[in-house]
């Protein structure tokens, strides 16, 4: 293999894809979710530097896809500055990654396809080993998660990677490509599809079915009758998938109902970046309080995902966001190329789009990385240019890009040090006093103020040390970034301990209305009312908690029920 910019970048992209198989970055908080962010950001830096390899001039022509990516990149840098938090920096790394791939003029397809097959096979084997309990799962409630935090992400990655061999098998006969390539592609699909089914992830199943249908459509001339038959089949399959897990599907319908209320309130401007995460639970609380059915109250839970990308773009950025999403769809589906490398890249991106109709690619960085690679390669293969030559000085452009890459690496080191320090603090609880731990956390506060993972740990540490005045000041950051029932129950406890009973009552009721099926907020209220001699209200809540059907009965529920029976034994007889 010749040492060229194309081959160097392709090899590094291959390393990035292999990084999907394990979590190389250890000793940081939440390794299954955050390890790949660090890995991808570091490799994007290396890939960015490799793109300067002097084999040919930089590419200065712009396609319609490039213009769309530039628009999204500007928005990303403005709304999610790389200096804000780890996810903002990782998003910036995707911009560098896209630019670097574009500078190759086209990646080494043979090398990348080989690595995609290897990655898919190993991911599948990891899933089978988790089912057999040879490897541990990363979630207490699921047997299969792969190297990620839950099966949804694992299934999403599998369905994106499977898109490439599906396209190859549908466009080539066994005698048209190397026999071993065809055999390995076939075996990869045979091995991966059963484990994908066992994830019970319907969004990934739908994505794979969509890619199979698209591969047939792009390979053969399809009659009108066949198209109608396909639509009927899709409708029947959708009904069957709904029946497979109806409660889960109804839960997403509830989320979309509440999201529609959010869009109705701000249809033009939206709620801004992170707007859904910061506001959804409050809107769910209002919806359930005013018009939610008993069934919907039972379904509702703490939630920070839209489970539908068009809705997320609309709720956060208004009409402009929806139009931009439609622009992405137009670019992808108007892309007409017959070569297999272009079709494979297009299929991977389409799989991501379909998966995103029922899941959350915006919060799943491995999915974003794979889709970025596919989009850049699509642009490389698109010969039609919107701008054939950019009017600028090459040296100035190189200097700006190099400074951006250097700045990215400096920020990565700084953010990594903060996350490593937070991990070490969380593992020093037995050797350090609470005062020392709080002092260490306060020193990280400025650097990690926009990190969702920081505030729950900091607030719980303050709560355990009964630093209630400081807690009530800091918990506002948690409320703004990631509100949940846990936030308001903790806030209610701190307010009650500082004799702010009215405010504590408001916080507990806020927690209850967010997720009515959870009992802890009403348990806290019953105890508080009992202490305040509001006996009738306390009795009513205690009786309600003890007699209603419990959604998930765990040890905490058992402890709450036992305590209520002990305190209200005479009143409840």
Instruction: Give residue-wise pLDDT tens across range 152-200.
Output: 999 999 999 999 999 999 887 655 577 788 899 999 999 999 999 999 9
- Maximum average pLDDT range among 215-224, 345-354, 398-407: 345-354
Mean pLDDT over 490-498 rounds to 96
- Mean pLDDT in the chain? 90
* The predicted structure's pLDDT at residue 393: 57
Name the burial class of residue 228, with classes exposed (0-12), middle (13-18) and buried (19+) by CB atoms within 10 angstroms of its CB: exposed
- Token pair, residue 239, equals 């009904």
CATH for the stretch 430-566: 1.25.40.10
* The predicted structure's pLDDT at residue 217: 80
Mean pLDDT over 296-321 rounds to 95
* The predicted structure's pLDDT at residue 92: 95
Position 11 confidence tier, pLDDT thresholds 50, 70, 90: very high
Give percent of the chain above pLDDT 70: 94
Q: Which residue has the higher pLDDT, 238 or 520?
A: 520
509 with 521: CB under 8 angstroms?
Answer: yes
- Maximum average pLDDT range among 242-246, 388-392, 496-500: 496-500
Closest CA to 515 of 551, 490, 468: 551
Show Cβ contacts of residue 478 under 8 Å, excluding neighbours closer than 6 positions. 455, 456, 459, 487
User: Does the structure show a pLDDT above 80 at 41?
Assistant: yes
62 DSSP assignment: B
* The predicted structure's pLDDT at residue 140: 87
Instruction: Give residue-wise pLDDT tens across range 316-333.
Output: 999 999 999 999 999 998
Show Cβ contacts of residue 328 under 8 Å, excluding neighbours closer than 6 positions. 68, 353
* The predicted structure's pLDDT at residue 305: 95
User: Does the structure show a pLDDT above 90 at 552?
Assistant: no
DSSP, residue by residue, 306-329: -S-HHHHHHHHHHHHHHHHHHHHH
User: What is the residue extent of each domain of the chain?
Assistant: 430-566
In DSSP terms, 62 is beta-bridged to 387
Instruction: Give residue-wise pLDDT tens across range 522-551.
Output: 999 999 999 999 999 999 999 999 999 888
* The predicted structure's pLDDT at residue 390: 60
- Token pair, residue 263, equals 């869009």
DSSP, residue by residue, 134-149: SS--SSTT-S--TTSS
* The predicted structure's pLDDT at residue 178: 73
* The predicted structure's pLDDT at residue 215: 87
198 with 131: CB under 8 angstroms?
Answer: yes
* The predicted structure's pLDDT at residue 236: 80
- How far apart, in Å, are the Cα atoms of 286 and each of 31, 280, 297, 507, 514? 35, 10, 12, 14, 8
Instruction: Give residue-wise pLDDT tens across range 451-479.
Output: 999 999 999 999 999 999 999 999 999 99
* The predicted structure's pLDDT at residue 224: 61
* The predicted structure's pLDDT at residue 466: 93
Q: Which residue has the higher pLDDT, 379 or 384?
A: 379
């Amino acid at each position: 293999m010749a040492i060229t910019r194309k081959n160097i970048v392709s090899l590094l992209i291959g390393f990035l894809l292999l990084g999907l198989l394990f979590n190389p970055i250890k000793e940081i908080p939440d390794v299954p979710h955050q390890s790949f962010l660090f890995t991808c950001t570091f490799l994007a830096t290396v890939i960015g530097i490799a793109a300067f390899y002097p084999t040919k001039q930089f590419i200065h022509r712009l396609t319609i896809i490039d213009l769309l990516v530039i628009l999204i990149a500007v928005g990303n840098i403005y709304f999610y500055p790389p200096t804000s938090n780890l996810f903002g920096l990782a998003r910036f790394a995707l911009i560098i990654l896209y630019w670097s791939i574009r500078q190759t003029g086209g990646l080494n397809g043979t090398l990348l396809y080989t690595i995609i097959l290897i990655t898919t096979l190993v991911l599948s084997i990891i899933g089978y080993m988790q089912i057999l309990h040879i490897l541990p799962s990363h979630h207490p409630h699921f047997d299969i998660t792969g190297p990620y935090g839950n099966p949804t992400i694992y299934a999403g990655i599998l369905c994106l990677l499977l898109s490439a061999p599906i396209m190859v098998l549908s466009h080539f006969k066994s005698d048209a490509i190397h026999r071993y390539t065809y055999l390995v592609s076939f075996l990869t699909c045979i091995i991966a599809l059963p484990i994908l089914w066992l994830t019970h992830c319907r969004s990934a199943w739908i994505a794979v079915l969509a890619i199979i249908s698209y591969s047939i459509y792009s390979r053969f001339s399809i009659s009108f009758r066949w198209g109608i038959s396909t639509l009927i089949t899709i409708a029947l399959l959708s009904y069957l998938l709904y029946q497979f897990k109806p409660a889960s599907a109804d839960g997403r319908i509830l989320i979309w109902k509440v999201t529609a209320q959010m869009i109705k309130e701000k249809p033009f401007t939206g709620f801004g970046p992170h707007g859904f995460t910061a506001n959804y639970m409050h809107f769910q609380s209002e919806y359930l309080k005013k018009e939610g059915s008993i069934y919907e109250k039972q379904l509702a839970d703490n939630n920070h995902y839209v489970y539908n990308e068009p809705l997320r773009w609309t709720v956060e950025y208004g009409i402009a966001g929806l139009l931009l999403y439609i622009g992405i769809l137009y670019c992808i589906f108007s892309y007409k190329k017959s070569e297999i490398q272009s079709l494979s890249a297009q299929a991977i991106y389409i799989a991501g789009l379909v998966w995103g109709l029922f899941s959350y690619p915006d919060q799943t960085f491995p999915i974003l990385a794979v889709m970025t690679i596919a989009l850049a390669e699509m642009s490389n293969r698109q010969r039609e240019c919107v701008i054939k030559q950019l009017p600028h000085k090459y040296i100035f452009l190189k200097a700006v890009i190099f400074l951006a890459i250097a700045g990215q690496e400096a920020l990565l080191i700084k953010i990594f040090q903060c996350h490593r320090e937070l991990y070490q603090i969380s593992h020093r609880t037995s050797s350090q006093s609470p005062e020392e731990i709080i002092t260490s956390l306060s020193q990280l506060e400025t650097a990690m103020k926009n990190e969702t993972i920081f505030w729950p740990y900091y607030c719980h540490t303050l709560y355990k040390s009964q630093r209630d005045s400081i807690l009530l000041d800091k918990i506002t950051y948690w409320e703004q970034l990631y509100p949940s029932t846990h936030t308001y129950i903790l806030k209610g406890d701190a307010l009650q301990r500082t004799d702010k009973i009215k405010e504590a009552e408001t916080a507990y009721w806020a927690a209850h209305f967010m997720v009515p099926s959870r009992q802890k907020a009403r348990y806290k209220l019953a105890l508080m009312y009992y202490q305040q001699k509001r006996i009738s209200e306390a009795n009513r809540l205690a009786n309600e908690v003890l007699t209603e059907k419990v959604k998930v009965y765990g040890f905490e529920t058992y402890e709450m029920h036992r305590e209520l029976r002990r305190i209200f034994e005479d009143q409840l007889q």
